[in-house]
């Protein structure tokens, strides 16, 4: 294999690793956000039960429940934004994987064809 081919192969490997990391990070963050959202929902229910007020528009609705609800809503928006990025990241990872497979399938160049290319 020529140095140029080896360099292209190495770059394709690095690209695939980066794309795989991106997908893993998106999936991990999404799972963490889901967990945080569940925790906040439980805290909101607990606070509402403690205060015996479940209507957010009530004037004595617990301040902590209102703040936790706002935080939960922002986390839901963030999680949804991450989920929207996930298909594109998976598609990019698949493309990088296919590119790497193409480079690995290429036949090594013979020394005569390499010498002919250098001579021109």
Per residue in 5-53, pLDDT (tens digit) is 888 888 999 999 999 999 999 999 999 999 999 999 999 999 999 999 9
Q: How far is CA 54 from CA 45, 65, 71, 92, 110, in A?
A: 8, 9, 17, 45, 77
**Count H helices, E strands: the chain?**
3, 0
Q: What is the mean pLDDT of the chain?
A: 89
pTM of the model: 0.77
Confidence band (pLDDT; 50, 70, 90) for 108? low
- What number is the average pLDDT over the span 91-107? 90
- What number is the average pLDDT over the span 94-106? 90
Q: How far is CA 115 from CA 2, 5, 81, 109, 118, in A?
A: 11, 15, 52, 10, 5
């Amino acid at each position: 294999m020529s140095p140029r081919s080896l360099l292209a192969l190495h770059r394709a490997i690095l690209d695939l690793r980066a794309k795989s990391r991106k997908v893993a990070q998106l999936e991990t963050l999404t799972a963490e956000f889901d967990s945080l959202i569940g925790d906040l929902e439980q805290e909101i229910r607990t606070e509402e039960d403690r205060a015996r007020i479940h209507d957010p528009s009530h004037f004595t609705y617990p301040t902590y429940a209102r703040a936790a609800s706002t935080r939960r809503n922002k986390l839901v928006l963030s999680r949804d934004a991450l989920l929207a990025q996930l298909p594109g990241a998976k598609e990019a990872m698949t493309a990088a994987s296919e590119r790497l497979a193409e480079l690995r399938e290429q036949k090594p160049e013979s020394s005569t064809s390499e010498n002919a290319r250098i001579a021109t």
